[in-house]
């Protein structure tokens, strides 16, 4: 599994991305985890993300990972936080020693244009509409990945991506930070979105 990118956001929050080139048999032999996923490509992605987590946190006992009601992997009683994500060809992991953290990695693809209305806040749509078509596509991919990361960090059900998650800027450049707000019921929470772009994907980490 070739190393791709790693960033220490600060002293307690870190993330890494790996390019997946190994066959399914590699992960099955190395990890010996029982995974009920029939699609071989999805199974490779699932196992690769956990393998990367193990490489970042060698003390991690992968067989203790459970799935929370909101779908987020976690370890009951664990003294650190983590978030996993994967897409075609890549696995990504974020870890925090102190606070909940969320991460998402998304391929930049035109199919996102068809679903943008489901997750864009009206203020975000105004920002996107001011961009060139090429920049619009990258920005929409960033917004989608950012809101997925915010959802994983916030750990609450009943979330409307377009109303409860509000991103307050444009992602410019390869690496950067954009502020955001979570407004859900009585909660108003400021969020920091750290992003990393490559030609074909964007990765976003959400933290408080």
Interatomic CA distance for residues 131 and 153, integer angstroms: 29
Q: Which of 207, 206, 208, 201 is nearest to 5 (CA)?
A: 201
Residue 115 has pLDDT above 90, yes or no: yes
Decide if pLDDT at 78 tops 80. no
Instruction: Tell me what the mean pLDDT of segment 58-73 comes to.
Output: 82
Q: Which residue has the higher pLDDT, 76 or 115?
A: 115
Span 129-166, pLDDT tens digits = 999 988 999 999 999 999 999 999 997 888 999 999 99
Mean pLDDT of 59-87: 85
pLDDT in tens, 5-57: 888 888 889 999 999 999 988 888 877 777 788 888 999 998 999 999 988 88
CATH no. for 105-207: 3.90.470.20
pLDDT for residue 69: 75
pTM for the full predicted model:
0.92
- Which fold is adopted by the domain 3-104? Ribosomal Protein L22; Chain A (3.90.470)
Segment 100-117 mean pLDDT: 94
Residues 6+ apart with CB under 8 A from 38: none
User: What would the DSSP string read from start to end of 115-164?
Assistant: THHHH--HHHHHHHHTS-HHHHHHHHHHHHHHHHHHHHHH--SS--HHHH
Whether pLDDT at 2 is above 70: no
Residue intervals of the chain classified under CATH 3.90.470.20 are: 3-104, 105-207
Mean pLDDT of the chain: 91
pLDDT in tens, 196-207: 999 999 999 999
């Amino acid at each position: 599994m070739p190393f791709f990118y790693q960033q220490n956001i600060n002293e307690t929050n870190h993330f890494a991305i790996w390019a997946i080139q190994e066959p399914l048999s590699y992960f099955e032999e190395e990890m010996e985890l029982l995974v009920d996923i029939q699609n071989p490509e999805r199974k490779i992605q699932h196992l690769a993300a956990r393998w990367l987590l193990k490489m970042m946190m060698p003390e991690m006992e992968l067989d203790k990972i459970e799935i929370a009601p909101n779908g987020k992997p976690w370890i009951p009683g664990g003294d650190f936080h983590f978030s996993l994500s994967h897409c075609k060809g890549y696995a990504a992991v974020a870890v925090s020693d102190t606070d909940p953290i969320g991460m998402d990695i998304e391929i930049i693809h035109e199919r996102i244009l068809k679903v943008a209305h489901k997750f864009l806040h009206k203020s975000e749509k105004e920002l996107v509409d001011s961009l060139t078509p090429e920049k619009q596509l990258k920005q929409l991919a960033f917004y989608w990945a950012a809101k997925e990361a915010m959802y994983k960090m916030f750990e609450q059900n009943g979330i409307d991506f377009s109303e409860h998650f509000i991103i307050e800027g444009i992602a410019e450049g390869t690496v950067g930070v954009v502020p955001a707000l979570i407004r859900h019921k009585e909660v108003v929470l400021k969020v920091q979105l750290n992003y990393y772009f490559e030609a074909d994907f964007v990765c976003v980490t959400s933290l408080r």
